[in-house]
Structure 1
Amino acid sequence: MYTNELPYEINRELCRLLDYKNSWKNLAGIWMEYSPFEITYIEQTAQGQERSPTEYLLQKWGQDIHKVEELFLYLYKMKHLSALLCLKPVVRKDLHRKIIKLKKSLNTMEKENEIDNEVSLQKSSDQTNGSIRSIPWIVKQIEMGEPLPNTASLQSVSLSINYNSINFNETSSSETYGISTDEITSRHVFDIPKINYEELKEATDNWSKENLLGSGGFGQVFKGEWKHLTVAVKRLSNNHDCNKEFIREMCLNQYRHDNILPLYGYSLGGAGECILVCQYLPGGSLLHRLKSRTPTPLTWSQRYNIMLGVARGLLYLHTMKPPLIHGDIKPGNILLDGNLMPKIGDFGTATLYTKKLNHENIPKTKKLIGSWPYLPGEYLRDRTLTPAVDVFSFGVVMLEVATALPVIDQSRNQQLLLVHIKELLKEGVDMASLEDPALLGSEHASPALCHAFISIGLHCTKSMQLRPTMLDVFMELDEMEIPVDN
């Protein structure tokens, strides 16, 4: 029997079992070898059609002519006993032995777990009675006499905020950081290595100006050599906003993905100084590459791969549970390694996104976050943060990458790049003529790609209701045909 021939009742029950706790995703990703993006597509399509994602998965998989026995063996490897029992009436009798074997195995595991639970309970009791592992990070820092970022504010922080509705951008009259110290210590900070402050002073040659990579309102970034590794050391200014950024980045910039800048560790210096240590990327920022044109301008193939990588990184953030809104996507926050692979950096404005039917928990900010030329009208009006904000910002970056024009230019009639391009299109200007002047008319020019980049950029910057998701954008980019550089 083939999977698309399963009796209705059996198929319905199997879908119910695999929909529970999203077991179908393990089946799809590990055993059926669907990519994370295909799994996300299946999930979103099923939601749009108001149907079971397992049903849609089995329908899609069944198009390649698979037998029920194949599905049975995958479920056996997953140790999904209930699903095996569901399929028992429609598989060969010799496979029934696997159900018996799995039952025995699960019974043995259950007994072992009972013993482990007893041991864990004893350990938990020991920790409650004063074990060092039960002491929160903040408390340990205070007991050891080490300085904290704005310690008075941290000690008076409100503990009433739930993890599922964290908003890092609102502060109360008691100067809360938008997240409780308990949440920070138990969920996040224990996972981040603490680096000795003196090691970082030595790594940067005592904060030498020769190692200074950049500076701004947040503080300074230095290049350093630490434990035979080249790193970027972000030395934050000692003020309330930078302390908030420190905690926000500590908590949120821990997602491991090829297109996200990894955070190696943190340090606390004298007088409450906060320091973050990240991977050093020799390619600099996308902004620098678009402006400097050295050693040579980016080719279309390189521009495409950079934007595809950024789209992949944003898709990863937007499809987490709960999704993460970066909030400040712009060329300056897109960093490039030696091979021009992009990594999204600066999570200082990142926000966890929770959405309920009554929209009460959609994050709102009193203060403008991000860089306003890259922000959509709906955010500038009511400060409502959704993943669509990142999509809009991505679209503006696509326009910059295609044209190399500044995002804001006071010498233009329309100072904002997005408005400027829309005005030119109304006048009948060919989009291909807006190609980066460094490429336009040369052997490396590509009117078709310039047109495609601007089209995607304009699509991403439509009104919120018409704006695509990052999945839509990624898939559109992924399907494009790009010339290979010689």
Structure 2
Amino acid sequence: MATSSWKSFFMGCTGYFYQSSTEKEGKRPEDPSSAFSSNFISDIPFSSKDLYRRALARSNLHEFTFAEMKIVFTNRNFLGAGGFGPVYKGFLPDKLRPGLEAQHVAVKYLDQEGNQGHNEWLAEVRCLGQYRHPNLVKLIGYCCEKKHRMLVYEYMPRGSLENHLFMKSLIEPFSWLQRLKIAVEAAKGLAFLHDADKPLIYRDFKASNILLDSDYTAKLSDFGLAKDGPQGDATHVSTRVMGTHGYAAPDYFMTGHLTAKSDVYSFGVVLLELLTGRRCLDENRRARERNLVDWARPYLKRPDKFHKIMDPNLQDNYSTEAAQKAALVAYLCLSNKPNPRPRMKEVVDVLEPLLRIKELPMGTFVFSVPEVDEDCDNMKADDENLVAGMDQERRERHDRRRRRRRHVHSVVRAEGGLQREEKDLSEDSLRRHHHRGSRHHRSRESLGSETSI
């Protein structure tokens, strides 16, 4: 394998993106007839300029000037950074553009020295400019003036799914229904892309690319690596391996053959993260548990074992039936071969009904002790037969003992009963002693009579 191919393979597998030396140099002939009054087009290969113009023209997005972006950035706040570059929070005033309402926005600023470049920028504009869906982040516009390349999105105030799952010390863990709802909404986003008139393969589905709005609605973001699906009779698209290690399907990782089933595998990894509360790769765990898929997959199809991998933060507050079905969906999505994996539409059809199975919170178990001893009730019938043959005196003593047993929780009654029992016993002993004495006296009289004879 050539050195460049090995480099592309390595950089793709580790989530970094390789640019050729000619791309890095950016030395391209300028086109004075360009419709864009900027140096942006001059940095693009000549054969790709028409493609860029057509893509931007069809995008139906706002094209902001750099002067307008300065207004947006008046009170900017840094939100984070990725392979594309830093992301800032800004504000669009209501008078900036006719028909554009005032709102907070998130602005991606392409890092000139970063890992991504023109192709990723264009893919983002092309995809989100043409594809609109409730579970895709809305791209409002872009700026491509001189060397300034920006993307302006709707602001997602709840951040990423990754933060909610793995920053548990700062954010309250999601409930079972919240996790299931996010899984369903993310699956709908992927299903929409796969079933579009021009199918699109997302290629970088992961927890950090699932953003949440104020209502915790999940939306897919970051389409820089999106790729057109196979056309006609083609079964796959051959491309260099790009994405994030741990989420990429093994068949795509090994062969470079990209299909919609590659996204299905990545969805299975995220669904497994939702179930377990663990990262797909975690070097801080024991060796056998560092790779989440390898560790958890054998448990997913075992109804008697899957609870061992469920997130302890759920505290068993989930529907066992729903969790078992979700675990089985994850198992099928994580098949090592693409054919057994379901289509995303089928995943949605299975997961969405599970939302109607409400979670079952485990409350405190309270056991009430009955006032009357249960043994008395169980023995009642036997007692009645037993006392039938007793004489009146023994029957009375038996009734007194049974009444005392009913009120053993009362100290006063217990002490009174014990005192009466002692009295009864003493009286009974005296009678027996008197009876034996009388019998002994009669025996001595008889013996005396016999002796005198």
State TM-score, norm by structure 2.
Answer: 0.65
Q: CA RMSD in A?
A: 2.6
Q: Is the counterpart of residue 183 in structure 1 residue 51 in structure 2?
A: yes
Equivalent pairs: percent with the same residue? 30
Q: Does structure 2 conserve the Cα–Cα contact (< 8 Å) formed by 1:433 and 1:447?
A: no
> Judging changes above 3 Å, is the alpha-carbon distance between structure 1 residues 138 and 203 closer, same or farther for their aligned structure 2 residues?
farther
Q: Is the counterpart of residue 213 in structure 1 residue 108 in structure 2?
A: no
Deviations along 1:448-473, one digit per CA (max 9) or x if unpaired, are 33333222111111121111111111
Distance 2:188 2:252 in 1: 23
Q: How does 1:42-191 map to 2 (within 5 A)?
A: 139-141=34-36, 144=37, 146-148=38-40, 151-152=42-43, 154-157=44-47, 180-190=48-58, 191=60
Deviations along 1:424-452, one digit per CA (max 9) or x if unpaired, are 569997111222111124xx344433333
The aligned amino acid for 2:310 is E
1:289 Cα deviation after fit: 0.8
- What is the aligned partner in structure 2 of residue 3 from structure 1? none
- What is the aligned partner in structure 1 of residue 164 from structure 2? 289
Higher relative contact order by CA 8 Å / sep ≥ 6: 1 or 2?
2
Q: How does 1:418-433 map to 2 (within 5 A)?
A: 418-422=293-297, 430-433=305-308
Q: Does structure 1 conserve the Cα–Cα contact (< 8 Å) formed by 2:137 and 2:219?
A: yes
Distance 2:136 2:184 in 1: 13
Q: Which runs of 5+ in 2 are unaligned?
A: 1-30, 94-101, 362-453
| Matching residue within 200, 208, 219 for 1:324 | 200
| Matching residue within 339, 346, 351 for 1:472 | 346
Q: Which runs of 5+ in 1 are unaligned?
A: 1-135, 158-179
Q: How does 1:21-36 map to 2 (within 5 A)?
A: none
Distance 1:253 1:218 in 2: 16
Q: Is the counterpart of residue 300 in structure 1 residue 176 in structure 2?
A: yes
1:399 Cα deviation after fit: 0.3
- What is the aligned partner in structure 1 of residue 103 from structure 2? 229
> Judging changes above 3 Å, is the alpha-carbon distance between structure 1 residues 155 and 296 closer, same or farther for their aligned structure 2 residues?
closer
Q: Does structure 1 conserve the Cα–Cα contact (< 8 Å) formed by 2:301 and 2:328?
A: no
- What is the aligned partner in structure 2 of residue 204 from structure 1? 73
- What is the aligned partner in structure 2 of residue 385 from structure 1? 258
State TM-score, norm by structure 1.
Answer: 0.60
In structure 2, the residue corresponding to 1:139 is in which secondary structure? coil
- What is the aligned partner in structure 1 of residue 409 from structure 2? none
Deviations along 1:63-120, one digit per CA (max 9) or x if unpaired, are xxxxxxxxxxxxxxxxxxxxxxxxxxxxxxxxxxxxxxxxxxxxxxxxxxxxxxxxxx
Task: Give structure 1 regions of 4+ aligned residues with deviation exceeding 3 angstroms.
Answer: 187-190, 423-429, 445-450
Q: Does structure 1 conserve the Cα–Cα contact (< 8 Å) formed by 2:318 and 2:360?
A: no
Q: Does structure 2 conserve the Cα–Cα contact (< 8 Å) formed by 1:322 and 1:354?
A: no
Matched residue pairs, number? 315
Q: Is the counterpart of residue 371 in structure 1 residue 215 in structure 2?
A: no
Distance 1:445 1:427 in 2: 17
> Judging changes above 3 Å, is the alpha-carbon distance between structure 1 residues 138 and 230 closer, same or farther for their aligned structure 2 residues?
farther
In structure 1, the residue corresponding to 2:312 is in which secondary structure? coil
> Judging changes above 3 Å, is the alpha-carbon distance between structure 1 residues 351 and 138 closer, same or farther for their aligned structure 2 residues?
farther
Q: Which one has a bigger Cα radius of gyration?
A: 2
In structure 2, the residue corresponding to 1:373 is in which secondary structure? coil
Q: Does structure 2 conserve the Cα–Cα contact (< 8 Å) formed by 1:138 and 1:185?
A: no
